[in-house]
A and B are shown apart, each in its own frame.
Chain A
């Protein structure tokens, strides 16, 4: 009736994740669709997106036939893009997960400066949340864990006690198994 066809069910839910600063400049953007292939098109889209969203409090907007949920924090804007017939709540859960995992990782300092300092981790986070448009994980704690586990080579002195203990436990376990 209302819409003529329900599109074929697919796991490809997310069409893009974008992080902009409060001047509309791109910090990080990943597009999982074919609509914006050139950098120029992407920048134009981000510009119009920024113009429509930087004033209001964060929630949801319809632009260029995309449903976009967004959220701003201090000097950053986070966007998750989906198609118009997508479940807005599902997109929002991805956005929340992105924000919460970054917040855990940056110890609540979700600001432009800290984001730049940990850009490698932020990129990993994006990859852990979404794999080519498929939602990979929705639990911010798990994501933060997975991303931060890679920092094995922090000097011993800077590790927390639990980290050291965990490390030792692993070592012993593996040596016993051998």
Chain B
């Protein structure tokens, strides 16, 4: 009951009087007011009145009762469900609003009953409804049914939606069209009828209708640009629309569907009113430009200038971030656009209020700048940051203090970027040294530390040092480093801390981004999961006494199925690799509901390849429909160059029959049984962790030719792309310098790979490939590959080389 009132009883009784009173105009509002203050405990007492009110002949009373019932569903769905007969009667009411509300309530009540909903839709699609609102609602019900059940366009539900395209009310037509467009099962053929309807709306005099149509077309264009091409002529008329939202949507749609020739004109048009549209739309424009750049790389000058103009205008952080991200991705994808893009970004950081963006750009400059034709140009911009950003700090009032902390990041980034230039270019070294020396007098501790550190390092002029400490930073997993350092400080030891024992941070695979429509408000948060997964494994394993002496975990593989998915026991295996051992983790799911498994182990045999089983950790009991975990510890072969092979697995256990109902075993004594699993493969990629070296060639020089292995192979693979993919797959290493992407039409390619071998040894691979054989006969097509492997460890080279055979 209402929280503010004391004499609730007076209010309720007078409302109840009004509800049933003679004055018709008071009855509806009284019902609504009473239901607002009713809670679950009071619902019983209003039930009788509500049932009557729902079927009342006055539309205002019936509507009020139905809408209030929808609100009440949140508190006491059970009570409201008892009114279903009355609600069903109300659906047939002549009044359009009563029908709409009754349909909405009926759906809420029946929602879990798919069959009833289906019958409902079929019934009304035949009988017809009076209310356009109810039609829209029915379309949505049908669409959610189609999507949930995974039905195709042949279902009667779809026929209903399709028939609504010919309804006489615009609202219903649009609802049907936009619903068809958003269905999962739809194909370009079905799309065309929806698109035709939307095309008619485009030329409507009502702005809302035009907006709705062009927004939906814009969504379609993301996935099926061809389907929208038919509307191009009509969309052209919208680019000068007085409503800028409509114009923007029309232009971005045209950009997606149009051809290269039209780009200039459209960009010119849109830039004329860019300042008038909201940030959200500007971001849509930026996204459109991004996809354009990928589609038409030759247009980069027009697009880049446009982006730079946008960057100069006023705008919020999100908007600026989108632009900077787009420019950075263009710079990385398109070598021709690199210099222009960097110049625009340099200009931007000269006057940039967003520290995090400036920091990102400085990092990019540090990485890409030294490789351009005139690196000296960028040094001015970077050094400007060091000296200019300082000035306001020195002014030193309180307000500036906060900024000071933000600028700190900038300095660190700027100083590191400067150092990268120094390391990468001989000619610039003296200049950089001077600049760094000046910076050593900075006020901030960490800036000074960095400057001094880099200054001393660069003065050595040692390529190997530069590569290790400036150009390629450490790739260790930070959380693991923290944990190990903490443990190191806990135990008294004179041994120095070994950085190699820290697990390497796995390279995060960039997730394919979800389609960007204007409506996406959720950002995918999946990138954290993989790292967190390795951390939890590492904690789980180190907590077990059997595995405590193994040292830090090097790498955990993804889980592999060792059984078919439809058998009694589903077993999956995860390989945890340590410096000299592998722990196999078996997750066993007992799918039988009348058997209990006890003392489960997985026996492994790899003696042929030299693997030696050291220890089994059995799982004591696995209940019905439950999952248990058992571990097998295997020592790697002594011969460090032969560490791959297949291990045969057999699951051994004691079975006890049990009662499916209670899960209690029937008898005390079980019987031993075994179950043969598929073999577990230990491949080269299990011993290697992917590592991204930002400056691969510097690392290559750093490792040197001490442990070098070079060989030439002929591989029966028809295309370079496939060859690159296979090599990366077998070796389990990371492609650097974007060498995994092959420009079209090339007959030769060089692939650069980097990784860390078990035990913390860096491994680098250079693979030069050339298409050979006669092109007339594709089956005889082969690739000649020259493979060079360098590593700090000799056996690592052998193992990696064996991956190719």
Chain A positions within 8 Å of B, measured between CB atoms, are 1-6, 8-11, 52, 56-57, 59-65, 69, 84-85, 87-90, 92-93, 127, 131-132, 134-138, 142, 146, 149-150, 174
Q: How far is the CA of A10 from the CA of B73 in the complex (A)?
A: 12
Identify which of A62, A87, A146 contacts B278 (C-beta below 8 A): A62
Q: Establish whether residues B182 and A3, one from each chain, have CB atoms under 8 Å apart when the complex forms.
A: yes
Contacts A65-B280, A132-B71 aside, 8 further interface pairs with beta carbons under 8 A come to A11-B100, A56-B243, A56-B244, A62-B281, A63-B278, A89-B174, A138-B133, A150-B25
- Specify which of B222, B514, B519 lies most central, judged by the most chain A CB atoms within 10 Å of its CB: B519
Chain B positions within 8 Å of A, measured between CB atoms, are 22, 25, 28-29, 32, 60, 63-64, 67-68, 70-71, 96-97, 100-101, 104-105, 107, 111, 133, 136-137, 140-141, 143-144, 147, 170-171, 174-175, 178-179, 181-184, 186, 206-209, 211-212, 215, 219-220, 222-223, 242-245, 278, 280-281, 514-515, 517-519, 521
Q: Establish whether residues A131 and B136, one from each chain, have CB atoms under 8 Å apart when the complex forms.
A: no
Q: How far is the CA of A150 from the CA of B184 in the complex (A)?
A: 50
Contact residues in A for B101 (Cβ distance below 8 Å): 11, 134
Q: How far is the CA of A107 from the CA of B448 in the complex (A)?
A: 75
Q: Establish whether residues B174 and A87, one from each chain, have CB atoms under 8 Å apart when the complex forms.
A: yes
Q: Establish whether residues B67 and A136, one from each chain, have CB atoms under 8 Å apart when the complex forms.
A: yes
List 29 contacting pairs A-B, 8 Å CB cutoff, sorted by A.
A2-B219, A2-B517, A3-B517, A6-B140, A6-B143, A6-B179, A9-B107, A9-B140, A10-B104, A11-B100, A11-B104, A52-B278, A60-B208, A60-B212, A62-B281, A64-B280, A84-B518, A84-B519, A88-B208, A127-B29, A131-B68, A134-B101, A134-B104, A135-B133, A136-B64, A138-B97, A138-B133, A142-B60, A146-B28
Q: How far is the CA of A5 from the CA of B519 in the complex (A)?
A: 11
Contact residues in B for A56 (Cβ distance below 8 Å): 242-244
Identify which of A6, A84, A132 contacts B144 (C-beta below 8 A): A6
Query: Residue on B with the closest CB to A89?
Result: B171
Assuming the contacts A10-B104, A62-B281, A138-B96, asked whether A89 and B208 have C-beta atoms less than 8 A apart, the reply is yes
Question: In angstroms, how far is the closest chain A Cβ from the Cβ of B132?
Answer: 8
Query: What's the A-B contact tally at a CB cutoff of 8 Å?
Result: 136
Q: Establish whether residues B518 and A62, one from each chain, have CB atoms under 8 Å apart when the complex forms.
A: yes
Contact residues in A for B32 (Cβ distance below 8 Å): 131
Q: How far is the CA of A60 from the CA of B244 in the complex (A)?
A: 10
The 7 A-B pairs at the shortest CB distance, nearest first, are namely A59-B207, A11-B104, A9-B140, A88-B212, A89-B171, A84-B519, A149-B25
Q: How far is the CA of A8 from the CA of B143 in the complex (A)?
A: 10
Question: In angstroms, how far is the closest chain A Cβ from the Cβ of B305?
Answer: 27
Q: How far is the CA of A3 from the CA of B25 in the complex (A)?
A: 43
Q: Establish whether residues B245 and A61, one from each chain, have CB atoms under 8 Å apart when the complex forms.
A: yes
Q: Establish whether residues B63 and A2, one from each chain, have CB atoms under 8 Å apart when the complex forms.
A: no
Q: How far is the CA of A69 from the CA of B243 in the complex (A)?
A: 12
Question: In angstroms, how far is the closest chain A Cβ from the Cβ of B275?
Answer: 12
Assuming the contacts A62-B281, A132-B71, A137-B97, asked whether A9 and B141 have C-beta atoms less than 8 A apart, the reply is yes
Contact residues in B for A84 (Cβ distance below 8 Å): 518-519, 521
Question: In angstroms, how far is the closest chain A Cβ from the Cβ of B38?
Answer: 14
- Specify which of A2, A8, A134 lies most central, judged by the most chain B CB atoms within 10 Å of its CB: A2
Question: In angstroms, how far is the closest chain A Cβ from the Cβ of B200?
Answer: 14
Query: Residue on A with the closest CB to B28?
Result: A146
- Specify which of A9, A59, A84 lies most central, judged by the most chain B CB atoms within 10 Å of its CB: A9
Identify which of B174, B184, B280, B519 contacts A63 (C-beta below 8 A): B280
Q: Establish whether residues B281 and A9, one from each chain, have CB atoms under 8 Å apart when the complex forms.
A: no
Q: Establish whether residues B67 and A90, one from each chain, have CB atoms under 8 Å apart when the complex forms.
A: no
Q: Establish whether residues A2 and B174, one from each chain, have CB atoms under 8 Å apart when the complex forms.
A: no
Q: Establish whether residues B96 and A5, one from each chain, have CB atoms under 8 Å apart when the complex forms.
A: no
Q: Establish whether residues B243 and A59, one from each chain, have CB atoms under 8 Å apart when the complex forms.
A: yes
Question: In angstroms, how far is the closest chain B Cβ from the Cβ of A176?
Answer: 13
Contact residues in A for B143 (Cβ distance below 8 Å): 6
Contact residues in B for A135 (Cβ distance below 8 Å): 97, 100, 133
Contact residues in A for B105 (Cβ distance below 8 Å): 11
Contact residues in B for A174 (Cβ distance below 8 Å): 22
Q: Establish whether residues B223 and A61, one from each chain, have CB atoms under 8 Å apart when the complex forms.
A: no
Q: Establish whether residues B174 and A61, one from each chain, have CB atoms under 8 Å apart when the complex forms.
A: no
Q: How far is the CA of A1 from the CA of B208 in the complex (A)?
A: 25
Q: How far is the CA of A85 from the CA of B171 in the complex (A)?
A: 14
